[in-house]
Structures are given as C-alpha cells and as structure tokens.
Amino acid sequence: MRPDEVSRILNERLAQELLQSSIPVRFAYTALDGSPRVVPLGFHWDGARFVICTIPGAPKVRALKANPEVAMTIDTQSFPPHILLVRGTATLQLVQGVPDEYLTASRKQFAEEEMPAFEAQVRALYDQMVRIDVEPRWAKLIDFETTLPSAVERLMRRKQQASA
C-alpha cells in the first residue's frame, strides 16, 4: 500500500476517533517459538506512528527483535463495529526512565486526578523502558456502513455480477 493511501485512511474522521480513544490496541506479533501472540496494549498515536512502551524483559521485546512485523487493530464493541486494521514494522529503542509517550497513553485510562500517583509509581518502578514505534505501512478502516471486510466486498460483487 502506498504511504499516501495509508495516510488518507488514518486521517479519516472515524480512524482519528479510534486512534484518540481509550480503546487499547490489540497488538499481534510472532513469538520466538513461531506461534502467534496478541496482547492488548496502551498506545500513543503521534500522527505518524504508534508508540508503545514496555519493560525490557517483556517476551514481546525479544520476539520483535527477531521478527519486527506486526499487525494491530483498534475496534469497538458497539454494533455495527468500527475497526481500524494496521500493519507495520516495529522498531525498538531502549530508553532511560519512563518515556513521555507512556504517560500520555496512560492518561487515556486514568482520571486526571489519579495521574500524579500513577506517574510517581511508574517512575519509581521503571529505570528503563523499551519504546516500540510502529509506522503503519498498510491500513484498512471498516465501519460496516460504507466499508466492509474485503472478503465480504468480494462476495457481494460476485453476487451482483451473477444476478446481472
């Protein structure tokens, strides 16, 4: 997918709502044993990339060093569901202390009055974190009103062609 196509999708109103929501990203990667893994994670969208922070000893860090290809989704539970699908390559950077993006992502989950205590707790706990950046190179937005999963779109086209 061309970068301008990815950008167009991620800048659509619904995609922006999902990117700014408190919904965790479901982050899929390949574990060291070759099996798939999906974990819900807090994230910060900086307008160009997803920023996810974790501890250096997390299994996903070792796995992403071996295979940085990831897939992610942010989706609602309402009907019809709204779904943002993204694929990209993760880059990892060891950071001293707590990255600002980790705290920004955490603000989606905590009331503002709870943030000072949370921030003090994580700053006391984490000497280092790993910043995972994922720059999208493929994206699809599904709202089940104007856009559908690709397989459903193909089925509908075949049905329409067969009835024509």
Q: pTM value?
A: 0.88
What pLDDT is attached to residue 136? 98
For residue 149, is pLDDT > 80?
no
- Give the percent of the chain with pLDDT over 90: 82
The ranges assigned to domains in the chain are 3-163
**Residue 80: which pLDDT band, with cuts at 50, 70 and 90?**
confident
Q: What residues are paired with 151 via a beta bridge? A: none
H/E segment holding residue 136: strand 128-142
pLDDT in tens, 91-116: 999 999 999 999 999 999 999 999 99
**Class of domain 3-163 (CATH, top level):** mainly beta
User: Quick one: average pLDDT of 10-27?
Assistant: 96
pLDDT exceeds cutoff 80 at 16: yes
Whether pLDDT at 155 is above 80: no
Q: What span, in angstroms and rounded, lies between the C-alpha atoms of 149 and 21?
A: 22
Q: Which residues contact 103 (CB under 8 A, 6 or more apart)?
A: 115, 119, 122
